[in-house]
Amino acid sequence: MTMATVSGPRALSPADAGVSDLYAAHWHSLVRLAYLMVHDVTLAEDIVQDALVTVHQRWNSLRDPHAALGYVRRTVVNSARSALRHQGVVDRYARRTDEDHVGVSAEQTALDHAEHDEMLRALGELSAKQREVLILRYYGDLTEAEIADALGISRGAVKTHAHRGLAHLRSLIPDSGAGNGRPLGGE
């Protein structure tokens, strides 16, 4: 009678361990970031999942595995931008063909709080860069350096977009508290 070799649990690869750690520590904040950009929870979750898969696939080519979170954030922002561009094409096509494809998700219904909706509308009035900077700063709690890395712009540009975006928000929603230390949207 021969004994079969029984192996113990397989050790995780560096990519598996790194992405697992990123998922555990940052999933919710990354989904929130994506949601605030695309306004669709399911799409936001898909964007983050795809970003984590991408970083997993490229783990061995990362110059600094400790910078993986910044890479994932940048991928989420770029994917959200792409999704918004795609949605713009879909919307233009629907208007051209006179189709009505507007639907409200259960997640969107949960966001019907008046102040939050007002802030989302106001954020929509900002330029894309101003909106992205403010979302990353106030909803993502990122530093200027992290925002600059995520958006691929300089820290000075982050400061400029934040200042101009907050000034515009103050003009749109005078009682918002924008720029006085109070989080945007009352959260």
* Mean pLDDT value of segment 6-32: 83
Among 35-39, 79-83, 175-179, the minimum mean pLDDT is found in: 175-179
Does the predicted model carry a pTM greater than 0.85? no
The answer to whether 184 touches 119, Cβ cutoff 8 Å, is: yes
Ordered by where they begin, the domains of the chain are: 14-103 (1.10.1740), 113-187 (1.10.10.10)
Res. 184 pLDDT band, cuts 50 70 90: low
Res. 173 pLDDT band, cuts 50 70 90: confident
Looking at residue 29, its pLDDT comes to 94
Looking at residue 185, its pLDDT comes to 47
Looking at residue 96, its pLDDT comes to 65
Res. 186 pLDDT band, cuts 50 70 90: very low
Cα dihedral 144, 150, 153, 157 sign: negative
Looking at residue 103, its pLDDT comes to 56
Mean pLDDT of the chain: 80
The answer to whether 133 touches 165, Cβ cutoff 8 Å, is: yes
